[in-house]
Amino acid sequence: MAECCKADKHLRAGAQLADGGRLDEAVSEYNQAIAECSKASIVNPLMLASTYHGRGRVYLQLEQFQQAIDDFNEALRLVPQHLSPPRALVYHDRGIAYASSDQAECALQDFDEAIRLNPKDTLAYSNRARVYTRLNRDSEAKRDMGQATKKSMDDLLSTLSFITMRKSLLPFNLRGWVNILGLHVHERNYGVPGSHWGSRLQAGGSLRSYLDVWREGDGDWHQSP
């Protein structure tokens, strides 16, 4: 039990450091979380999977793509098959790692699986469109960008409706409002409230990332919130 508490502490610290851009320190915290989990008499597979997923996302930012892929593989091994939302997130992020390391067909397979598990994943459509564009499969790229744009607009309209209906029920606090919006968008798209699965919300983070699908060209891959 003590080891699990220590692992959770390191996991949370790693997430905070990653959000603050202190990537090498974040990796160190995730490493310690994994070490503490390995000492536990009863291993929590979801906590361990979340740790591998978190560290993999940091490796993505460090452009250490094979290390990221290895961590995402381990996360997928640990997450039960019936837990579609977290599996969709890991497939999506592994797709980014494959795409970033010029493994286009593997990336397409992972984006396909992410969309199958979560058809509301706007970013998976957007990123799959980028892979199709690189492969000169323009009609498929256009189709996916159309889906991404439509779903982004649906999310925005839903969020505006959410604000309007609940405006009188909540105190006026800008940061609180933005965090509530982010949680709403995350829950709408993944079916679960914000958790360790790369969904730690900063002010406006999720809403801003979903609107990013309007961008075109060869910019950065859109990472899930």
pLDDT at 198 over 70: no
Domain count, the chain: 1
What pTM was computed for the model? 0.70
pLDDT at 164: 55
How many residues in the chain?
225
**Residue 29 covered by a domain:** yes
pLDDT at 195: 38
**Residue 24 covered by a domain:** yes
More confident residue, 44 or 29: 29
pLDDT at 202: 30
pLDDT at 196: 36
CA–CA gap between residue 33 and residue 31 (Å, rounded): 5
Helix residue ranges, H only, 40-173: 45-61, 65-78, 84-100, 104-117, 122-134, 138-166
**Residue 7 covered by a domain:** yes
**Residue 19 covered by a domain:** yes
pLDDT at 62 over 90: yes
pLDDT at 206: 34
**Structural contact between residues 92 and 190, judged by C-beta atoms closer than 8 angstroms:** no
Domain range enclosing 54: 1-63
pLDDT at 13 over 70: yes
| pLDDT range class, residue 201, cuts 50, 70, 90 | very low
Of the chain, the percentage scoring pLDDT greater than 70 comes to: 64
| Residue 34, SS3 per DSSP | helix
CA–CA gap between residue 167 and residue 131 (Å, rounded): 40
pLDDT at 109 over 90: yes
User: What average pLDDT does the segment 82-111 reach?
Assistant: 94
Q: Which of 106-110, 142-146, 202-206 has the highest mean pLDDT?
A: 106-110
Range name among 13-22, 136-145, 162-171 with the lowest pLDDT average = 162-171
**Residue 148 covered by a domain:** no
The radius of gyration computed from the CA coordinates of the chain, to the nearest angstrom, equals 18
User: What average pLDDT does the segment 184-204 reach?
Assistant: 40
User: Considering the chain, what is the average pLDDT of its residues?
Assistant: 76
User: What average pLDDT does the segment 88-94 reach?
Assistant: 94
**Structural contact between residues 26 and 58, judged by C-beta atoms closer than 8 angstroms:** yes
**Residue 25 covered by a domain:** yes
**Residue 22 covered by a domain:** yes
**Residue 205 covered by a domain:** no
Q: In this structure, what DSSP letter does residue 117 have?
A: H
